[in-house]
Structure 1
Amino acid sequence: MDAPQKLAFIVQSNRLQGLIWQALLKSQRVAVILEPGSADLAECINQIAMAGLTLPDVIILDAEASELNPYEFCRWCRDAFPKMPIFLTRFRNLEISSTERRWATQQGATDFLEGFQRDNLMSSAADNMRCILSALEHPFLDEKALLTVLLNIRRQLRAAQPALGAPSGAVPRANGHNPAVSEPMKQLESANGKASSPSEAPSLGPDRAKHDVLNDISWVTSGTAPLEGDRANSNGKASPKSLFTPPPTVATSTLPKPREADRLASGKAVRRYRGTVY
């Protein structure tokens, strides 16, 4: 049996950014657990440690999470779990200065990475994956699997542009606050955005100007469907059951003991967390 997968905790205030991180990491065979941006991350890590479960191998933390001080968490984690790498991310204000990056590393972060925007999705995805895999001591970057996921996302973006009235080549950026949207299972978030080249983009109505495809979950779930093994319909859209429904919480005391078949050649048991085997 192969060595167990690495486990990544993703904490993002923007749901879509979290799903993109999940899709990219899963393409590299890294197990992923998505946590909400409002979660008490320090308490969550403490409970995992106290329960005797395996701690995550890496944490990808949104520095813009409103209910969490990322630097305070980095300092706490550096003292409590010094070997756990933490990557801070930011997607609303992409420019991360050398001063910000240096301050983050001084507080205990491994690095400060830029989030994902459509106009730099390919390059930022490859660079971010190399940084994460290097910290995990992963052998290599599976470029073919990564490219497959990225092309699926790009394809969905192109298909969504005509519906928004955007001209070919004009790709709006998500650079505003993302209020929650109540339309279930179709769209989780929307964002205020503007075209990358205002002179090329026509004026949009109030409703269309506020909508940004980058924060529309449908094309992300379509891109991640091959990783989940879900069937897609004739339009290439993922079925509703592929929207990453979290598994139920299971008490540690009720978990079965590892079977002999679940042990590695070294004698160590296969690690599990929230239904994820890695």
Structure 2
Amino acid sequence: MTKTILVAQGQSLQVQLWKLVLESQRHSVLLTSPHMNLLEVAKVQPLDLMVVDMTTGLFNPYAFCRDCHSQLPDTPVILTHHARRHIEPAERRWAIYQGAAEVIPGLAAASDILDSLDRIYKAAKWSLPIDTDALYTVLEQAGLMPGEPNPVPSPTAPPQTAIQTPTAPPQSVKSEEPTEAKSSAPQVKYRLMYRGRPVN
């Protein structure tokens, strides 16, 4: 079932990502600027959800959530924080207490995007399934699916080999010690100590 979602984001990259992700799930996405009076926009256009950037500094996101909760109780508000990858539990509890349905980081890696969608659906109490095939298709087309997990192990591998290489010189040191022993000590003493065999 198609939902109508208002997206108000301060960063153009976040605007594009939210539009891409939500439209992949066949939702109708309305884009607007955080400069607008979002409450008035929501009153004019019936909405199923609002995804609002709380970091623009153009309005008090908690006051906005209180107003929406009192005037539009059936329209959940998802607050996003594009610069933070982790939302503190206390901040999340406070936002929900103020009327937000959920607080999530901005969209980034593919795994984060799937988790964000799942959290939004649960917060909005939607029983809709997430079309992961459609989601991963659009993310792959946007160049987000390769992700960073593959490049990460490769830079960490060379330092391990570099650390192991300095352990090679002690072999050459050991090989030099017998030669010095042969040149400085008589061969008779060396034969007496060789493998613990007494030589007459």
| TM-score over 0.5 for the pair | yes
Q: Counterpart in 2 of 1:78?
A: 69
Quickly say closer, same or farther: Cα 1:138–1:34, change in 2 above 3 A. farther
CA gap of 1:28–1:62, structure 2 versus 1, over 3 A, is same
Counterparts in 2 of 1:183-222, with a 5 A limit?
none
Distance 1:132 1:69 in 2: 21
Letter of the 2:141 partner, please give it: N
Which one-letter code corresponds to 1:140 in the other structure?
P
| Aligned residue number for residue 15 of structure 1 | 12
Residue 35 of structure 2: aligned partner: 38
Q: What does 1:98-247 correspond to in 2, within 5 Å? A: 98-117=89-108, 121-134=109-122, 135=124, 137-154=126-143, 169=151
Q: Which runs of 5+ in 1 are unaligned?
A: 159-167, 171-196, 198-278
The one-letter amino acid of 2:142's match is: I
Deviations 1:79-99 (A, max 9, x none): 101121111001112221000
Deviation, structure 1 residue 156: 9.7
Q: CA deviation at 1:116?
A: 2.1
Unpaired stretches in structure 2, ≥5 consecutive residues: 157-200
1:72 alignment partner AA: A
- Give the CA deviation at 1:14: 0.5
Offset at residue 42 of structure 1 (A): 1.7
Distance in 1, matches of 2:142 and 2:113, equals 12
Q: Give the equivalent residue in structure 1 for 2:23.
A: 26
Q: Give the C-alpha shift of residue 143 in structure 1.
A: 0.6
Q: RMSD across aligned C-alpha pairs, in angstroms?
A: 2.4
Secondary structure of the structure 2 residue equivalent to 1:95? coil
Give the AA of the match of 2:86: E
Q: Is the 8 A contact 1:87 1:109 kept in 2?
A: yes
Q: Which amino acid aligns with 1:10?
A: V
Q: Residue by residue, what CA displacement relative to the aligned partner does 1:169-210 show, whole Å, maximum 9, x if unpaired?
A: 48xxxxxxxxxxxxxxxxxxxxxxxxxx9xxxxxxxxxxxxx
For 2:117 and 2:145, the matched residues in 1 are separated by 22
| Change over 3 Å in CA distance of 1:105–1:155 after alignment to 2 | closer
Q: For residues 72 and 135 of structure 2, what CA distance do their matches in structure 1 show?
A: 30
Render the CA deviation track for 1:49-82: whole Å, top value 9, x for unaligned. Answer: xxxx5x1100001010221211111000111011
Shift of 1:136: 5.4
Q: Deviations over 1:107-160 (max 9, x none)?
A: 00011011123xxx11111011112233252420101000001112226999xx
The answer (yes or no) to whether the contact 1:77–1:84 under 8 Å persists in 2 is yes
Looking at CA atoms only, which structure, 1 or 2, has the larger radius of gyration? 2
Output the TM-score relative to the length of structure 1.
Answer: 0.50
Change (3 A) 1:155 1:77: closer
Task: Identify the residue that residue 81 of structure 2 maps to in structure 1.
Answer: 90
